[in-house]
Amino acid sequence: MRLVLIGPPGAGKGTHCKKLVEKYGLKHLSSGDIFRAEIASGTELGNTAKEYIDAGELVPDHIVIDMMTAAVEKAGDYILDGFPRTVNQAQKLGEALEVKGCQIDAVIELMIDDAVAANRLTQRRVCLQCGGTYHLVNLKPKVDGICDVCGSKLIHRDDDTEEVILSRLETYHKQTEPIVEYYRKSGKKLLQVDAAGEAGKVLDMIIDKIENI
Ligand code: AMP
């Protein structure tokens, strides 16, 4: 199964992807995670990407497309998280998959109000080691600042500050949301889910829609 997960920052893409990966045995292909790993390793790609990420802007298409089509070409069943983020990226992904003789099976759109997303992000703390995600009020770690799963230190992402979040949400509406219409017009199965509720319930709704494909 090949899935694309779309949603604004703060919609819970990473959280739900982890569960879907476990349930369906998919590879989790997250463009944001790949960039953060490149930044942590101090690579040229990471240094270039960091400038855009810290400003709440999208990394230029040609960089992301090369990186993600290479990842997709190596994977069997997967869920794409954070890619594509522009219509151009979606088109180029479609072309790369056509060459490979396959296509995306379904596109999941997580829908959430900007205010709810912004609140989640300012209170979010993440583990860069295992990808665990916490919320200072709703999903506290057992020990302050430490990941329950792997014991690593939790961080507040540089791009989870109020100013950058506003810019990321604006970028989402302008550049990423049109992808939904693009996929709808191209006849892809579109699974739209209200992502504002409790994580377990949102996940159940996603699974229900996947099972009905
Ligand atoms: P994420 O972890 O998915 O929220 O991604 C963090 C940041 O990485 C985004 O705000 C962008 O600056 C950059 N990024 C991730 N995926 C893409 C993409 N598909 N296209 C452009 N920039 C991206």
Give per-residue pLDDT as tens, 183-193: 999 999 999 99
Instruction: Indicate which residue of 157, 184, 189, 209 is catalytic.
Output: 157
Is 13 catalytic? The answer is: yes
Residue 82: CB within 6 Å of ligand 1? yes
Q: Classify residue 146 by its DSSP letter.
A: B
**Could you count the other beta carbons within 10 Å of the beta carbon of residue 43?**
12
Q: Classify residue 137 by its DSSP letter.
A: T
Is 36 catalytic? The answer is: no
Percent of the chain with pLDDT over 90: 85
Model confidence pTM above 0.95:
no
3-state DSSP assignment of residue 111: strand
Which amino acid type is present at position 4? V
Residue 85: CB within 6 Å of ligand 1? yes
Is residue 8 over pLDDT 90?
yes
Length of the chain: 213
Give per-residue pLDDT as tens, 85-120: 999 999 999 999 999 899 999 999 999 999 999 999
Instruction: Indicate which residue of 2, 18, 36, 168 is catalytic.
Output: 168
